[in-house]
Chain A
Amino acid sequence: MRHFVIVAILVIAMTFLAYFGLVASDLMPVQASAQAVSIDWLWNLELMMISFLFALIVVPMFYSLIVFRRRKGETGDGEHMEGNTTLEVTWTIIPLFIVLAFAYLGAYSLGETRRLDPGAMVINVTAQQFAFSFEYPELGFVSDELYLAVDKQVVLKMTSRDVIHSFWVPEFRIKQDIVPGRVTEYRITPTLLTDEQPFKVRCAELCGASHAYMLSDVRVVTQEDFDVWAAARQEEAAAAAQTPEGRGQALSVANGCLGCHTVDGAAGTGPTWFNLYGRQEQLADGTVVIADDAYIHESIVDPQAKIVAGFESVFMPAYDFTDEQIADIIAYIKTLE
């Protein structure tokens, strides 16, 4: 009995020691998003449980090693205890309830991080080896750094041009892979302004040789600063909009065309736009067509009408552009030589 009392006291002491040790060693980066709150809350609960279970095993283990060690000259065996069914059932059932409780809390915490604001601004993220680009479709421009207004939820709609990447800002906590051929969603509500040092979005899924260097700046600013920045970017975009090819480029970026159609001749999900205008395209049904204004027009409003050989299984959605817009896009495509 004396042994049990000593061990129980030591377990309690060790639990507190371990927990406060863990908390004091500042294990997490600063908390900078609303979603991080429920994650950090659960993590803290888990640290408590870890500290307790660690103490529960380590204390009796070291206690036994010291107190029940074989002393010099001793020859006999230990006490013959084969087991105790009640005890075994106890230490099966109690942990069972603990893990079920944690699973429930995990689901709850996940729900908190998924709480959505219907007014959240959409930002389209395109990842490729080894860069991110951020398109603000509602504002009409594309940026290579992510600007966010504090306390405003945004929803990132992310896709990849090549391999799997992953979007991770440690200060925001959540991570989401970016998969080619589909759009994954990432909701975040930044709560902390960045100072001189921006946060960084870091690619967290091995994506090739320069994976280590795939990162972009993330700046969280006040709504006023965000508006100023956005206005400046819009002005740049407006300058481009004075010309048909500039408008066409903006449209292509804003509508995700370039997520599938490359502009430099590289392979993509769809046929490249590089040198497209006037090119002879081999169609899936064996006929050949020249990519002129009429063909490109048709391919945008009714993509399934004529499919280029090799792209049979790709489903491109139909776009509902005006004739002027399509003319702008074609003007842009003409410049890609």
Chain B
Amino acid sequence: MKTKNPVRRSFLLLLLGGVIGYGLGVGLDVLVTGQLDFAAPLTGMFALLGTSVAYFFGLVGYWGITRGLVWQVIGTLAGGLFVSGIRVLMGLEAFGGFFFSEPAWVFGGLVGGLSFLVGVGAVTDWYKWAKGEPTSEHHHDPEGYVKYFGVSLDHKVIGIQYTVTALLLMGIGGLFAMIFRTELAASQLQFLTTTFRAFDQNGLQFYNTLMSLHGIIMIISILLGVAGMINYLVPLLIGAQDMAFPRLNAFSFWIAVPAAVLLVSALFLGGFDTGWTGYPPLSARSPVGIQMFFLGVFLAGWSSILGGLNLLATVVRMRARGMTAFRMPIFAWAAIATSLISLTATQFIGLSFQLVMFQRLLGMGFFDPTKGGNPVLFQHMFWFYSHPAVYVFVLPGLGIISELLPVFVRKPLYGYRWVAMSSLGIALVGFLVWAHHMFASGMNEYLRVPFMYSTLLVAVPTGVKFFSWVATLWKGKITTPTPMLFVLGAILVFLVGGLTGPPHGTISVDLHLTDTYFVVGHFHDTMFGGYVFPFFAALYYWFPKATGRRMNETLGKLHFWLMTPSFFVLTFAMMRVGLLGMRRRIADYDPLLGFDLSHLIMTIAGYLIFTSVVIFVYNFFHSLKHGELAEGNLWNSRSPEWLVPSPMPVHNYDQAFEVVGEPYDYGLDGSRYVQFEDEKIKDIEG
């Protein structure tokens, strides 16, 4: 029988294989233990095994991603069995609590991640080159949605792959948050109790796992979302055909997928209870899950580093004619600042986690005081990346704000050069402030003072951005369609995040604030204002460019008006209880503190935010097919990508353009930013 729709068939088979495998796992567990446990450690294993079987019978390999995932499973099993075999030969115990022993899981996880890249086809061209076989310069992507499920070298496809993966991870991370937010709605333990069992964790441990995974999954989601915006937009904005290294670009995206799988798998391998910061000695004692977390971050880090490298090369080498540094779109400046950080700082989080990994596997005592190690050293290494990382998260978002404001205000971006330089300023000062996370850590007391000075300095370039935005709004002709609403929301939310930052910078006040819900409220404000709101603004704004249809305005406005007030309520309540004594990362709080009502309000606000995002997701998928057609310059922008029809042609601009003016000269009669080849000819003839 010839398959009419191989995609649907393979998907069904994959699902079926997973379900049958899971059923087998549960059944086998009942036979062995005599108890019905739907979350027994073996069930996940069997579900994965089922999908692998489905692969061989079901042509699941039709999609690159499913092929990659099956390869990842096989690679994990192969790597795990390899190490288990060696352990048998060494006379060690071959298997552990979660089927494999810890070293076998780590090696298997690594082999699995790399196998994914082979399976999906992200290294095929390089392999061919190594063998001396030629490959075509461009790959011809298949028609329709299939191209998004396999390796493509087109930066627009990769940008959308990044973006959708980011949204998916945001959904998972948000779901985790909803689970523990529900537990927090009242004091005492409601359902994550000490008798609760899931994946070898009791309620308290499961709470810690969910809380930790919420953090790291959201962070990876943000990194992917940032990469999505940069990948899709920067080549279009600077008039390049693609990124400088298309294969490296595809590799950077695809390595993030097995990384995400590894992160989520931590949940099933006993979880980990350290938060996303993974401080030893606690992380040296956590269950095996922590190793999957380390591995996942390690692989995702490669995505960041290579992505940063690629972007810098692209902006430096591939700008359109006439696009001098100060005629670049402001988003390109933000992307440069971000990429400088991700290229040079990401190594430190990878390294710090790798050291803990080795401490666990090989008994090296890097952070173990009983072996002369120093736990505080880890914190220095960790924050050397993880503080600049927050600027990786927010700088592109702030770039989006600066990029979109002039369009909807119909005025030039006020102080363009200052805004551009402030991004670099934030990125550079950001490297000198890491120890402000450690004021209470027991680090050298006097060293805290210079870090206080450097930390507060970040406020200066950030202030320049705010003042410039306000000056841009002044005397404009402001309209507020959905993207502009999100831009304005971003400014407000980031303002609250920005203003609650400096108190953390002053050491004595920080000694009260650190490790409380005040910090939680503060950084959710910076993340939402600096990333989530601008990300949604960008999605609403460039959706028509990618699809030729626009998203529904009414639903978009509903999304905004539901999310924004709820979000303010959530974070203000967080900050208030934090000041009054609510610690971070606790599964339960003292009823005597009187925080029950505040937490109930926070939980309701959390649900409203989640609902608003569900509305967004519906709008997104509904508009793909049924959205109003929007093929022209919908927002009346000067930017080159809007001067060609939507959706964007495969190789971007059919004819090159030259930059002949300032990017944001709205309100200057007769000015233009770019001139296409045929317009030039017309000018000469005319």
Contact = CB atoms under 8 A, between A and B. Distances in A.
Interface of A: 25, 27-29, 38-39, 42-43, 46, 49-50, 53-54, 57-58, 60-61, 64-65, 68-70, 74, 76-84, 87-88, 91-92, 95-96, 99-100, 102-103, 105-107, 109-110, 112-114, 162-164, 166, 168, 170, 173-182, 184, 197, 200, 202-213, 215, 267-269, 311, 313-314
Contacts, number: 284
Interface string B451-465: 011001101100110
B637 interface: no
Given A79-B411, A95-B459, A103-B456, A206 B666 contact: no
A165 B668 CA distance: 61
Contacts of A168: 515, 583
A106 B441 CA distance: 18
A164 B282 contact: yes
A205 B282 CA distance: 10
B502 A102 contact: yes
A contacts with B: majority SS: mixed
A192 to B, nearest CB: 15
Given A78-B477, A175-B440, A175-B514, A207 B495 contact: no
Contact of A113 (B369, B496, B508, B590): B508
B527 interface: no
Nearest to A105: B506
A156 to B, nearest CB: 13
Given A80-B411, A200-B590, A69 B460 contact: no
B279 A197 contact: no
Contacts of A100: 453, 456
Contacts of A182: 369, 442
A42 B509 contact: yes
Contacts of A164: 279, 281-282, 375
Nearest to B416: A83
Q: Which of B204, B205, B506, B511 has the most CB of A within 10 A?
A: B506
B667 interface: yes
Nearest to A64: B473
Contacts of B665: 80, 82
Interface stretch (B123-131, B385-393, B574-582, B675-683): B574-582
30 contacts: A38-B508, A42-B506, A50-B500, A57-B466, A70-B479, A74-B477, A77-B666, A78-B666, A79-B476, A81-B475, A82-B412, A82-B665, A96-B460, A100-B453, A102-B506, A110-B507, A163-B279, A166-B515, A170-B512, A177-B442, A179-B441, A181-B373, A202-B583, A203-B583, A204-B584, A207-B282, A209-B202, A209-B204, A268-B370, A311-B370
B439 to A, nearest CB: 9
Contacts of A74: 477
Contacts of B588: 212-213
A213 B204 CA distance: 11
Interface of B: 202, 204-205, 208, 273-275, 279, 281-282, 285, 365, 369-376, 409-412, 414-418, 440-442, 445, 448-449, 452-453, 456-457, 459-460, 463-464, 466-471, 473-480, 488, 491-492, 495-496, 499-500, 502-503, 505-509, 511-512, 514-516, 576, 579-581, 583-590, 592, 662, 665-668
Contacts of A210: 204
Contacts of B417: 83
A180 B503 CA distance: 29
A54 B491 CA distance: 11
Contacts of A38: 508
Contact of A39 (B374, B511, B590, B666): B511
Contact of B409 (A78, A88, A203): A78
B416 A53 contact: no
Contact of B512 (A60, A173, A205): A173
Contacts of A207: 282
Report, nearest first, the 4 A-B pairs whose CB atoms are least far apart. A181-B369, A106-B506, A313-B372, A78-B476
A185 B579 CA distance: 23
A177 B411 CA distance: 51
Given A60-B473, A78-B411, A25 B282 contact: no
Nearest to B588: A212
Given A43-B503, A88-B415, A58 B474 contact: no
A145 to B, nearest CB: 16
A184 to B, nearest CB: 4
Nearest to A209: B204
Contacts of A54: 495-496, 499
Q: Which of B279, B365, B467, B576 has the most CB of A within 10 A?
A: B467
Contacts of A79: 411, 475-476, 667
A179 B478 contact: no
Contact of A102 (B456, B467, B491, B583): B456
A215 B591 CA distance: 14
Q: Which of B442, B589, B668 has the most CB of A within 10 A?
A: B442
B42 to A, nearest CB: 23
Contacts of B414: 81-83
Given A106-B509, A311-B370, 20 more contacts: A57-B466, A64-B473, A68-B473, A68-B474, A69-B480, A70-B477, A70-B479, A82-B412, A82-B665, A83-B417, A102-B506, A163-B282, A164-B279, A166-B515, A170-B581, A179-B375, A197-B592, A204-B515, A211-B587, A313-B372
Contacts of B376: 179
A69 B417 CA distance: 26
A36 to B, nearest CB: 8
A46 B512 CA distance: 14
A42 B114 CA distance: 52
Contacts of A215: 590
A181 B464 CA distance: 44
B370 A46 contact: no
Contact of A109 (B281, B375, B468, B508): B508
A253 to B, nearest CB: 21
Given A162-B281, A170-B512, A177-B440, A77 B410 contact: yes
A181 B476 contact: no
A2 B500 CA distance: 32
Nearest to A311: B370
B37 to A, nearest CB: 20
Contacts of A209: 202, 204-205, 208, 273
A174 to B, nearest CB: 5
A106 B452 contact: yes
Contact of B370 (A205, A213, A269): A269
A28 B512 CA distance: 10
Contact of B442 (A68, A184, A206): A184
B108 to A, nearest CB: 27
A91 B262 CA distance: 46
A77 B365 contact: no
Contacts of B583: 168, 202-204, 212
Given A179-B375, A181-B375, A163 B285 contact: yes
